[in-house]
Chain A
Amino acid sequence: MYSLKKPTQTLILVVFVLFLSNKLIAQDIDLFKMQEAQDKKDQANKRDLVTATFKTTRMVNGQSIENVGKGIMDLKISHRFGTVNTGAYNFFGLDQATMRIGMDYGITNRLMVGIGRSTFNKEFDGFLKFRILRQSTGRRSFPFSVSYVATSIYQSVKPAETTYQIYQTDHFFYVHQLIFARKFNDYFSLQLVPTLVHYNIVPLTTSENDLYSVGVGFRQRISKRVNLTGEYYYQINPVTGTYNTLSLGFDIETGGHVFQLHFTNSTGINEKSVITETTGQWDKGDIHFGFNISRVFTIVKPKAMANAKF
């Protein structure tokens, strides 16, 4: 078909082909364009876990969806003063206080454990909280987070004289909670907490051992450092003489700590006493001023940080 009898044509063809291939091979690489293409691809494929739904691991009294990170210890000191309606003689409640001191620790990023001691009924408590599902955005997004919390409480206050035998097991109470939470945006988060409180021994023969309730909590950002929070537990089968707990407060972030200031009608601080033993009523003025101080310590550094030199 083609012969070297027409060398001029061959030459032109060869030069043309080489020129073309030269163009193709040696086309300048433009990293900026490549990066832009990569950014677009990454944007389409990205999946982010939602973080900081709430500012700390407690709403006010109860648990929030948040965990402390792996290797982090969180020392928590919570105070509830007396009720404000006790008047000037008691300095509007500030003369009295109940408190809880506790320590939480993150074993993994999903599992945290904590222990605490409350002055109210001299109760010890221990809990574990596990993240089952995490809210995420982007590809394979999921609309909310789910955690499970199991708390057991040991009441060490000396029991009143009874006509029946009090066993060691009668000092124990158990709380199971599922937390469903959603961060709607940087400004607003909401959680729902179906709860079961189990009493090994009940205060009155008419009371039930299993008490069901549903908690609701929210966070509304006011500024970068201040969030308004609220928490309410609705008791489905309440103990006679108790009321639903309602708390309103502020989370104030100050670098290494989150400072919580609030008003609540609960005297106790652990789940059992808050949800099922609140005798105060907001409309009667049985309102306690209170605060939680939290300070986090890094016990185990993340590997990448431990290896990096600064």
Chain B
Amino acid sequence: MKKIILSITMIAVGMTMANAQKLFSTKAGQIKFNATGGVEKIAAVNNQVDSKMVDKTGQIVFSLLVNGFIFDNQLMKDHFEENYLETTKYSKADFKGFITNISTVDFSKNGKYNVTVDGSLTIHGVTQKVSTAGTLTIANGKPSIVGVFKIKIKEYGITGLYIGEKIASEAEISVDCKYD
């Protein structure tokens, strides 16, 4: 009888281990965008991106404060916040999605994997579906993600005189997050 109890215990513990999900997170991820349309560089960087990822399910979220973007030029930042992104109304932007091929990633050994990410991106209070490719790197059990994708600015309800001129109609967004 004891053997039966023991074996059932083992099985149950084993199941628990197998189901355990690991959560990776960072509060210092980097997201850049470049929307240069003319000669003047229209680009900014945010180094305080909050991101979390789950290894088993591939679920991934990114979140940032829009007024955390740093520009070369204060005036451009003011225009970005007040006239384009309307940060007093929409203070955050986020992405919620899944790494669809997470099963191919082995978190236990070092390596580079091409991953695809599907999800919904919310900017300026407007949510759009986004699908993109990126690279997931495992180094000493810690993952990091880099990826680049483009969005059409007007699809997010952002309006303004210079979109399509000085400001490109598509913004290139680069993501670089190292998780703990």
Chain A proximity mask over B55-83: 1 for CB below 8 Å, otherwise 0:
00101110100010011111111110111
From A11, which residue of chain B is reached at the shortest CB distance? B5
Main secondary structure of the interface of B (DSSP, over half): mixed
A106→B75 CA distance, assembly (Å): 12
Interface extent on B, as a size class?
35 or more
**B135 interface hit (Cβ, 8 Å):** no
Q: Hey, which chain B residues are within 8 Å of A186, CB to CB?
A: 82, 86, 88
Q: Hey, which chain B residues are within 8 Å of A43, CB to CB?
A: 91
CB distance A18 to B32 under 8 Å?
no
Stretch at the interface among B12-20, B106-114, B125-133, B136-144: B12-20
Q: Hey, which chain A residues are within 8 Å of B124, CB to CB?
A: none
Question: How close is A132's CB to chain B, nearest CB, in angstroms?
Answer: 19
A29→B55 CA distance, assembly (Å): 10
CB distance A308 to B32 under 8 Å?
yes
B30, B34, B72 — which one has the most chain A CB atoms within 10 A of its CB? B72
A305→B73 CA distance, assembly (Å): 10
CB distance A305 to B44 under 8 Å?
yes
CB distance A305 to B71 under 8 Å?
yes
Q: Hey, which chain A residues are within 8 Å of B2, CB to CB?
A: 4, 7
A194→B162 CA distance, assembly (Å): 39
From A72, which residue of chain B is reached at the shortest CB distance? B74
Q: Given that A11-B8, A35-B94 are known contacts, is A18 also in contact with B13, CB under 8 Å in the complex?
A: yes
CB distance A304 to B161 under 8 Å?
no
**A158 interface hit (Cβ, 8 Å):** no
A258→B45 CA distance, assembly (Å): 24
A14→B32 CA distance, assembly (Å): 53
Q: Given that A26-B20, A31-B59, A255-B162 are known contacts, is A14 also in contact with B67, CB under 8 Å in the complex?
A: no
CB distance A18 to B57 under 8 Å?
no
Q: Hey, which chain A residues are within 8 Å of B86, CB to CB?
A: 186
Chain A proximity mask over B148-180: 1 for CB below 8 Å, otherwise 0:
000000000000111000100000000000000
CB distance A22 to B19 under 8 Å?
yes
B8, B79, B96 — which one has the most chain A CB atoms within 10 A of its CB? B79
A302→B71 CA distance, assembly (Å): 7
A29, A39, A70, A301 — which one has the most chain B CB atoms within 10 A of its CB? A29
A10, A11, A302 — which one has the most chain B CB atoms within 10 A of its CB? A302
